[in-house]
Amino acid sequence: MAVETMGGMPPVLAFGLVGALGVGAQWLAWRLRLPAIVLMLGAGLAVGPGMHLLDPSRDLGDLLQPVIAIAVAIILFEGGLTLNLRSLMDAATGVRRLVVIGAPLGWLASTLVLRHAAGLGWESAAVFGGIMIVTGPTVIAPLLRQARLKKRPAALLQWEAIVNDPVGALAAVLAFEVVIVLRTSAGIGHAAAELALGIGVASVLGLAAGWGLAWAFANAKVPEYMKVPVLFVSVLAVFAVSDAVLHESGLLAVTLMGVLIANAHLPSYAEIRRFKEHATVLLVSGVFILLAAGMDRQTLASLDVTALVFVLSVILIARPLPVLAALAFTDVPWRERLLVAFTGPRGVVLVAVAGLFGERLAALGVEDGARIAPLAFALVAATVILHGFTLVPMARLLGLSAASAPGVIIVGGSRWSQSLAEALTKMELPVMVTDPNRSHLRAAREAGIRAFTGDILSEAAEHSLDLIAYQTVIAATDNDAYNTLVATDLAPEFGRENVFQLTRDTSDSARYALPATLGGRRLAPGNTYWEAQRAITEGWTFRATRLSKEFTLEDWRAKNPEAVAVADLAGGRLRFLTDKTAPQDGEGVQLLVFGPARDRGQAQGQAQGQG
């Protein structure tokens, strides 16, 4: 039976268009260094109310609501997977207070703003207010990388976004279930019983399913290649069964299921994390495009002065007051409190969940439920654009910027690493050297270079290190296998183009060749660990050279025939080179070079000139 209606787009073509627009907008945002949510909003509005090319209700028909509901369920499950209770307990007092005190106060403040500034009824305000406490981990991370804040304010914002993601979803789900029960039940007693039954069934089902999957995965009851499919199907099954008991209770069940799996310490958690990241990118972008395209011009026209007052009230009241109250009487300096209080960008999760609940409330007879989606779009667009342009200058004004250029993590405390770290420090770039052996880091500490004693892949490193200030990883230990492991594990987080390792001793042998999915890029000049150390012993060192109109790249090459360019710094962007990339030439470009001592290089250059 065809779902297509007269004058509409075939459902398969509609799904293809939504996917292309969503992923395409995210890719373009990455290329242009812009917030992806802004481009997705523009794309959805353009093909929807703009050109009337896509109308989700018309083109997808009865498929629309189930598709959005399932997508939101998987998004909330992913949010649950990010909530590691051990990480929360190990977090600083400020982070715990932002979650334990700030989240409930934020829910209350958002509800009051929605009621009195936006004019929503208490039912819609309570549901929408719950999800408004989510500050958007997918939005805050790129902003923090761009702003390069100091460690504590960056950690406060990052952990608040991660932990409040499922907390906000749970708040909205619980408020929505209360509205459902009160609207559909005959009396208060019956409503309370039905609500308790629904929450109880959802909680038991979600926790039981999470425990069962964790047990099965940990005890090899499911083969590796089937873990992600089994997980995916289980999420759908739990959502459907719980929803059959109490409408929308499935969202609570899958969120709790994700929380339990996140805290089960599974050895296969890395693969599960990859699944949730990929699924979230696809589903969040798809839901966002569908919701934006589904808005008509009449709905957009409803965003009047009331919507502006609502957005300003959230930015100036509902966000800062709960944060300042939560951080009161802590050791967090007032400058950091102000920065956190006035930084609260919302993301696509808010739009996806709020849009779904808004439609559900409207279907239940809550008239102002239809206003939730446009208000959510207005809030997300305003906060992302505002904080995207103001976070950097605000951080500089408050003296909370850690660095103006991307940093480098060097894994391995050798003399080669020490020389590289000193050269990068002279270029005013943040550098951190890591090594499990404390004695290997003595020279770095004496030189004032930041050092971390321990395994860069350990949970201690994940929880205690501020990785946002760093863009590049160089694995340079004497163990080629460990270098490959570090590069492979950190590549998804830093980007494969930003992860390098020293050349492996056996890299030229076909018998020991590794797949392209393993390891990092080979750093120029292509030395192995032992070749690099031998060069250091022979007097080679790293140093920075600035190019100009009078001293070009060719001039540098003529004076330093043996030296090799390892990286270039232009316009505040550091780029490490491989054997397939050439350094930039131009005024103001700084070259990071590896070559013999200056006196030796100059002497050789003079000898060649005389010859």
DSSP symbols for 555-585: HHHHH-SS-EEEEEEETTEEEE--TT-----
Calculate helix-pair angle for 122-131, 348-363, nearest 10 degrees.
160
**Residue with structure tokens 């393993």?**
518
Q: First and final CA of the chain: distance in angstroms?
A: 86
- What is residue 609's predicted lDDT score, i.e. its pLDDT? 36
- What is residue 296's predicted lDDT score, i.e. its pLDDT? 73
State the Rg of the chain over Cα. Answer: 27
Any long-range contacts for 19-23 (C-beta under 8 Å, 24+ apart)? Answer: 19/282, 19/286, 21/47, 21/285, 21/289, 22/282, 22/284, 22/285, 22/286, 22/288, 22/289, 23/281, 23/282, 23/285
Contacts of 212 (CB under 8 A, 6+ apart): none
- What is residue 604's predicted lDDT score, i.e. its pLDDT? 43
State the DSSP code for 149: B
- What is residue 51's predicted lDDT score, i.e. its pLDDT? 87
3-state secondary structure 463-491: HHCCCCCEEEEEECCCCHHHHHHHHHHHH
Q: Are residues 314 and 132 in contact, defined by beta-carbon separation less than 8 angstroms? A: yes
Q: Are residues 503 and 522 in contact, defined by beta-carbon separation less than 8 angstroms? A: yes
For 337, list phi and psi in degrees, rounded to 5. Answer: -60, -45
Question: Strand, coil or helix: what is 541?
Answer: strand
Amino acid at 30: W
| Chain centre to alpha carbon of residue 29 | 14
Q: In what order do the strands lie in the sheet with 573-576?
A: 541-546, 590-595, 564-570, 573-576
Alpha helices in 503-552 (DSSP H): 529-537
Residue 247 CA to residue 171 CA, distance in Å, equals 16
Residue 56 CA to residue 86 CA, distance in Å, equals 42
Residue 156 CA to residue 339 CA, distance in Å, equals 10
- What is residue 108's predicted lDDT score, i.e. its pLDDT? 93
Domains in the chain (CATH in brackets) are 11-397 (1.20.1530.20), 407-610 (3.40.50.720)
Burial of 460 (0-12, 13-18, 19+ CB in 10 A): middle
State the DSSP code for 523: P
Whether this prediction's pTM lies above 0.85 is answered by no
**Residue with structure tokens 């929450």?**
199
Mode of pairing for the β-strands spanning 407-411 and 431-435: parallel
- What is residue 1's predicted lDDT score, i.e. its pLDDT? 40
Question: Strand, coil or helix: what is 239?
Answer: helix
Q: Are residues 570 and 586 in contact, defined by beta-carbon separation less than 8 angstroms? A: yes
Burial of 305 (0-12, 13-18, 19+ CB in 10 A): exposed
Q: Are residues 216 and 222 in contact, defined by beta-carbon separation less than 8 angstroms? A: yes
Find the angle CA(574)-CA(576)-CA(579) to the nearest 5 degrees: 155
Q: Are residues 369 and 361 in contact, defined by beta-carbon separation less than 8 angstroms? A: yes
Rounded mean pLDDT for each run of 10 residues along the chain, 611 residues in total: 55 90 84 75 86 86 81 78 64 76 91 91 89 77 71 78 72 77 67 72 89 88 85 90 76 84 75 68 80 75 82 92 91 89 82 79 84 86 83 84 76 92 90 91 89 82 71 90 89 84 74 70 84 91 90 89 89 83 87 78 39 32
Q: Which value, to the nearest 10 degrees, does the dihedral of the CA atoms of residues 539, 544, 550, 556 take?
A: 40
Residue 383 CA to residue 346 CA, distance in Å, equals 6
Q: Evaluate the CA torsion angle 413, 415, 416, 419 in order and state its sign.
A: positive
Which CA distances in Å does 297 have to 46, 51, 285? Answer: 11, 11, 22
Residue 34 CA to residue 122 CA, distance in Å, equals 36
- What is residue 512's predicted lDDT score, i.e. its pLDDT? 62
- What is residue 600's predicted lDDT score, i.e. its pLDDT? 47
| Chain centre to alpha carbon of residue 116 | 33
Largest Cα separation within the chain, whole Å, is 102
Locate 332 and state its tokens.
């967090």
Length of the chain: 611
